[in-house]
Amino acid sequence: MELDGKTSSIVYSEDEAPVEETGGRGARRSRVSGIDRALQVIDYLYETGSPTGVYAIAKAVKAPLSTVYVIVDDLVEKNMLTRNGDGTIWLGSRLYHYGLAYARSLDFMSVATHEMHDLCREAGETVQVCGRDGDYMLVLAMADGPSHFQVASRVGTRVPLNWTASGRLLVGNLPEEERVELFKRCAKSSPTGRAQMDPGVLSAAAGAAFQSRLSIQAGESDYAVACIASPICDGNGQCVATISIVLPEQKAFSDENRYTAHVRASAERIEKIMGWRNH
């Protein structure tokens, strides 16, 4: 085994636990990565529910004692584990912070999904909650409207950021130079051929949409389909997601003010419930 000097992560050329082979050929050595061993240690502590000595951990996960000592020391140094006065090992504060972050994300989706369904009933149209996945917009949740109007983008759909109203909002809070570089890299032609491709134009539109808390696009990703979206911003003013109404293009512009008022109000309610908005 050796330590990577840059990251202090543990690298094993061959960390083994005996594994019986079939066919009477005896035992072979199985390769186990440092990440797998670290997770075995953490999982064991989680499952036992109490601080444990290194020897007991090594025996439980069937790893060499010397290997477990190195892993534990490394994880203690990174606050993933803590060492008590009696030498026993327990979960560290860094894991607690990760857990809090995960819990907050679950709370957000619960609040956003509830609001999504309320907006769907109010507007009588399909509503989506979307987030950013690198160079793409990702549909996180969706409530189908009562009409027979079909929306192609279902939950899990990823589309280029330049195709959608939500995509522009999701990067609208970024500095202008960063937005331009992002659109230079990720802008793609849409199936309708109507999606804007110019990075400068896209950056300006994204910034303006974010400032006005409203983005509207029609026919850029799907024929005759419009999207009216508003950003959901955290306490630092970062756009963490969007909520949008997806409806027929002709219908969107026949009563635009009604839909824009609904979607803005929904985004603001989510922010207030999450404690991100004080006004």
Task: For residues 178 and 241, state if they share a domain.
Answer: yes
pLDDT of residue 32: 67
pLDDT of residue 28: 44
Average pLDDT over residues 82-99: 93
Question: Rounded CA gap, 65 and 160, in Å?
Answer: 49
Domain boundary (91, 118, 149) is at 91
Buried-state track 144-178, b at ≥16 Cβ within 10 A, e below 16: ebeeeeebebeeeeebbbbbbbbbbbbbbbbeeee
- In which domain, by residue range, is 263 found? 97-273
CATH number at residue 69: 1.10.10.10
Q: Is the pLDDT of residue 200 over 90?
A: yes
Residue 83 included in any domain: yes
Task: For residues 46 and 135, state if they share a domain.
Answer: no
Question: Rounded CA gap, 42 and 44, in Å?
Answer: 5
Question: Rounded CA gap, 148 and 166, in Å?
Answer: 23
Q: What is the pLDDT of residues 119-158, one digit of tens each?
A: 999 999 999 999 999 999 999 999 998 877 777 788 989 9
Q: Is the pLDDT of residue 183 over 90?
A: yes
Percent of the chain with pLDDT over 90: 66
Task: For residues 149 and 57, state if they share a domain.
Answer: no
Residue 278 included in any domain: no
Task: For residues 130 and 230, state if they share a domain.
Answer: yes
Domain boundary (26, 61, 91) is at 91
Residue 218 included in any domain: yes
Residue 268 included in any domain: yes
Q: What is the pLDDT of residues 12-39, one digit of tens each?
A: 434 444 433 344 444 444 566 889 999 9
Task: For residues 118 and 157, state if they share a domain.
Answer: yes
Task: For residues 191 and 235, state if they share a domain.
Answer: yes
Residue 279 included in any domain: no
Domain boundary (58, 91, 124) is at 91
Task: For residues 210 and 268, state if they share a domain.
Answer: yes
Task: For residues 140 and 164, state if they share a domain.
Answer: yes
Average pLDDT over residues 186-195: 91
- Tell me which of 279 and 133 has the higher pLDDT: 133
Q: Is the pLDDT of residue 2 over 80?
A: no
List of residues 6+ apart from 97 with CB closer than 8 A? none
Out of 38-42, 109-113, 152-156, 238-242, pick the least confident.
Answer: 152-156
Average pLDDT over residues 161-172: 95
pLDDT of residue 221: 79
Task: For residues 101 and 225, state if they share a domain.
Answer: yes
Mean of all residue pLDDT scores within the chain: 86
How many folded domains does the chain comprise?
A: 2
Q: What is the pLDDT of residues 39-74, one digit of tens each?
A: 999 999 988 889 999 999 999 999 999 999 999 999
Question: Rounded CA gap, 138 and 177, in Å?
Answer: 23
Percent of the chain with pLDDT over 70: 88
Q: What is the pLDDT of residues 251-272, one digit of tens each?
A: 877 777 889 999 999 999 999 9
